[in-house]
Chains A and B, each alone.
Chain A
Amino acid sequence: MTTRLAWKNIWRNKTRSLIFIGAAFFGLALAIFTINLMKGIAAQRLDDAVSIQTGHLQIQNKDFNTFREIDQYIADPAQVRALLKDQPQIVSITERMVSEAVLTTPENTSIAQLTGVKPEIEIQFSALKDYLIGGTFLEGDLPKPILVSKKTAERLKLSIRSKVIVTLKAVSGEIVGGAFRVSGIFETPNTPYDENNAIVKYSDLGELSGIRNPHEIAILVNDRMQLTRIEGFLVKNLPSDYRHYSWITLLPQLYAFNGFTEAVSMLFTIIILLGLGFGLLNTMNMIVQERTREIGMLRAIGQSKWSVFFMLVKESGFLMFIGSLTGILLGIVIVNMTSQTGVPLGSGFALLGIRATIYPVVVWPMIVMVCVLATILTAIISVFPAFRALRIRPHAALRD
């Protein structure tokens, strides 16, 4: 009975109720959208960074991460490939060769980590192709193509097709060199990466350094939640000569940044919820004040204190939930739509590694969290006006 009465009561002052419901509706839609957009940004930055740099998981010779010697390669990559073959979450695997190198032009010298990649695999695997500002990935007719960053190109006065001498220590211990030609220039948002990296073909680097084997086998998965499971599998099955690392170990700053993004969007949501909470408190206090006589009458004719209390709690609940549930639904619909079409953010945030178009990601745990928070908040807030109503005595009904 109090439920029906509470429901009818919220429509007494339609304007006031609709204002509150509207605030909850837009507030929660915005919160859900923001949370999922931020998640989309974090996911995009992560995808870029892991695909260009480390993979979600990486397998190396057990000493390579410490010493980075050219002969610390993966002795039997076929064995590792066979091991990974049956892992359904793995979507892509690339093998890379790595060497410290000196790049020289008549103008200047630069030290870089040279990564040898197989272009046809790498172009699928890595997002670097999206950050080319000139030229092509390693395709084309150039002999010994090399990709350098804009930074390096500027320092060494390089342009597309210009020649650069690469010098490195071969597996034999000799210092060897070769002429490469710039096939593309890239600029990623990650300045330290750009300053220190250049990319060549796997076969070209192998020829120069005298090895055939990769130093890294990088893996992309379709579900990061499965990483621990795959890691568990590797712990059991990977030969002891090799070691595996997850992106969290290899890119700790990115991991920390993603946690930070999540915290900020949660904080934003909490601020919206608190705003709504105060709005609700204010609205319900007004309602109790206005209805003092009516509540007194209800008490006089025999409605119990607690029944009045819960009637008001239900009114708060209705006000909050009509607005926030529809708002959350709208948020989910918008996120679903924009996760297909993308949200155009413009190029203003490129320096932060944020692309011009972001695809929000629906994060159900966060949405559930918002629902739980909204419920807890409503439960807490609604108690206060209802408690005030408990103090209204029956003879309030008789006052004029």
Chain B
Amino acid sequence: MEIIEIRNLSKTYNPKTIPVHAVNQVNLTFKEGEFTAIVGASGSGKTTLLNMIGGIDNPSEGEVCIASNNLTNMSETQKTKFRRDHIGFVFQSYNLLPVLTAIENVEFIMEMQGRPVKERHSRSKELLSAICLSNRLHSRPGKLSGGQQQRVAVARALAHKPKFVIADEPTANLDSRSTADLLDIMVKLNEQEGITFIFSTHDQRVVDRARRVIVFEDGSVKEDYNK
């Protein structure tokens, strides 16, 4: 089943001065459970595309539909709520809340949603054990390595069972060992939870682990294949 449909999506920065066509007439669909890498050189438009899919940036043209909800027609408030309930985000620089412990970070979105404490706890513990951090439940991010922090970030993105997870260069700040560990975990969670992952990268070792690869160049899809 298709959960994301992108039609004629374009983004032009500085349209009035020196226009930059960061994303140009892109059409794409993503199916439930896919594990997709968006690959391309720096500046090719990967971040811009992911931001529009995630509803944190508005397209100049075209539309993004997620499970039949047209993001383009939503108000800012509706989009915020939609992101909270249906999209998971993993950032290049982890972006955990430094004042919260690992488990509190994982619970954070469920807490925003007002889910019961019991449910939050059991879900977070389950995920923290899946990312092999059961022994660091109460560590703050400052006490964790970069790789461990990014695993917590993945757990946070998944905790509330979103429709899909977007990860913009999730391994860019990690060494190769941590990169491999993180990919293992993403693959495992993709399989166990059936969660759709879309991540951008320019690291060939990461591309090797993807099942679908979209090659991006100058804001357009150059190649799109399943392995």
Contact = CB atoms under 8 A, between A and B. Distances in A.
Contact of A302 (B47, B51, B109): B109
Among A294, A301, A394, A398, the one with the most B-chain Cβ atoms within 10 Å of its Cβ is: A301
Interface stretch (A1-9, A209-217, A334-342): A1-9
Nearest to A304: B80
A11 B156 CA distance: 23
A393 interface: yes
Nearest to B140: A8
Given A395-B51, A400-B92, A303 B99 contact: no
Given A8-B100, A9-B99, A302-B109, A395 B80 contact: no
Interface in A10-36: 11-12
A293 interface: yes
10 contacts: A294-B95, A300-B91, A301-B83, A302-B81, A302-B82, A302-B83, A302-B84, A394-B83, A395-B56, A397-B89
Given A5-B99, A293-B93, A400-B93, 8 more contacts: A299-B56, A300-B83, A301-B109, A302-B82, A303-B112, A394-B83, A397-B89, A398-B51
B2 interface: no
Given A302-B80, A302-B109, A397 B57 contact: no
B224 interface: no
A297 interface: yes
Contacts of B51: 395, 398
Contacts of B168: 398
A400 B54 CA distance: 18
Given A394-B56, A395-B57, A303 B95 contact: no
B43 interface: no
Nearest to B113: A302
Given A9-B99, A395-B51, A301 B111 contact: no
Interface string A376-400: 0000000000000000011101101
Interface residues of A, number: 23
Contacts of B111: 1
Contacts of A5: 97, 99-100
Among B47, B80, B81, B168, the one with the most A-chain Cβ atoms within 10 Å of its Cβ is: B80
A305 B47 CA distance: 23
Interface in A266-303: 293-294, 297, 299-303
Interface string B89-117: 10111010111100000001101100000
A322 to B, nearest CB: 17
B85 interface: yes
A397 B92 CA distance: 9
A300 B112 contact: no
Nearest to A1: B111
Among A1, A9, A299, A398, the one with the most B-chain Cβ atoms within 10 Å of its Cβ is: A398
Contacts of B112: 1, 302-303, 307
Nearest to A302: B84
Nearest to B50: A398
Interface string B45-69: 0010001001011000000000000
B192 interface: no
A303 to B, nearest CB: 6
A8 B109 CA distance: 17
A297 B112 CA distance: 14
A304 B77 contact: yes
Interface string A104-137: 0000000000000000000000000000000000
Nearest to B84: A302
